[in-house]
Amino acid sequence: MIKKCLIFTFFCIFVSAFSQTLFYNSGSIQFQRKTNAFRLTEGGWMNRMYEKNKFLNDTFRLDFDSSQSLYFNPSYDPDEGGRDGMYFSMSVNPSKSNVVYKNHNSDTLWVMRELFDERIVIHDSIRKIQWKITDEVREIAGFSCHKAIGILFDSMYVVAFYTDQIITQSGPESFGNLPGMILGVAIPRLHTTWMALDFKAEKPSIKKPSVPKKKKTPPYNWNNYYLKLSERFKDWGAPFNNIMVWMWGV
């Protein structure tokens, strides 16, 4: 009789704890993108630029609901346009103009960013990475997150941490395709991390970004975009031409 009572007590505690766990399908997440530019450019002509200020830090926001998400830099003013091209000349990171819109119902993605003085638009399916989920768990922005490892560009390791408490299967940049929201990403080869700093449970107004009216070039798909990057950075010399293609191809 005592054994049955103990089992019933533990069952009640488990049910109570589970019922207190909150799950979300909409909200707003603040991410910090951090790149060790000094390490990234070792052995190259850009390395001296980062001797004093080794890290590049930018803040992005991800607004999402159950069917779509929008990743953008709140401090970027699209009306200033061309100024972001100047930002590129002093940075190895994709610019602050980076906008990523995902429609999870149609499995489609739109990316808009400035590459030198050109406004790039990418339209393709949401990137599919073959993830391997591990047993490791860590806390990010107040959520318990599971670790997953994937391969990008055939040989580059990507480490991601996702939480199943946020149901929408999205994440920073073009990352996704895990059973929950990705709150942390690390790419050791690029010395870059994306980490969630803050989460707000709200229902943001999300709109698909409009293609600039002056845009004459049709949208790229992923394959054509990578060819574009390879052409743009071919004169940078090995290994930095590949590094820049990878940085701008995330």
Q: Are 41 and 240 in contact (CB under 8 A)?
A: yes
- Could you tell me if residue 100 is inside a domain? yes
In a domain, 164, yes or no: no
pTM: 0.86
Average pLDDT on 131-140 reads: 97
Residue 208 is assigned to a structural domain of this protein = yes
- Confirm whether 149 is domain-assigned: no
> Does residue 214 form part of some domain?
yes
pLDDT at residue 42 in the model = 87
- The mean per-residue pLDDT over the stretch 172-200 comes to 97
Looking up tokens 């909200």, which residue turns up?
27
Residue 229 counted as domain residue: yes
Residue 47 lies in a domain: yes
pLDDT (0 to 100) of residue 235: 85
Q: What pLDDT score does 237 carry?
A: 77
**Average pLDDT estimate for 227-234:** 90
Report residue 218's pLDDT band, with 50, 70 and 90 as the boundaries. Answer: confident
Starting at the edge strand found earlier in the chain, the sheet holding 27-36 runs 118-125, 108-115, 99-103, 68-72, 55-64, 27-36, 192-200, 181-187, 156-163, 143-152, 132-140
Query: Is residue 163 one of the residues assigned to a domain?
Result: no
Chain centre to alpha carbon of residue 24 = 19
- Residue 66 structural domain: 24-129+190-249
For the chain, the average pLDDT equals 85
Query: Could you report how far apart the first and last alpha carbons of the chain are, in Å?
Result: 60
| pLDDT of the residue at 119 | 84
Question: Which residue's structure tokens are 């991390």?
Answer: 193
Q: Residues 130, 122: contact at Cβ < 8 Å?
A: no
State how many domains the chain has.
Answer: 1
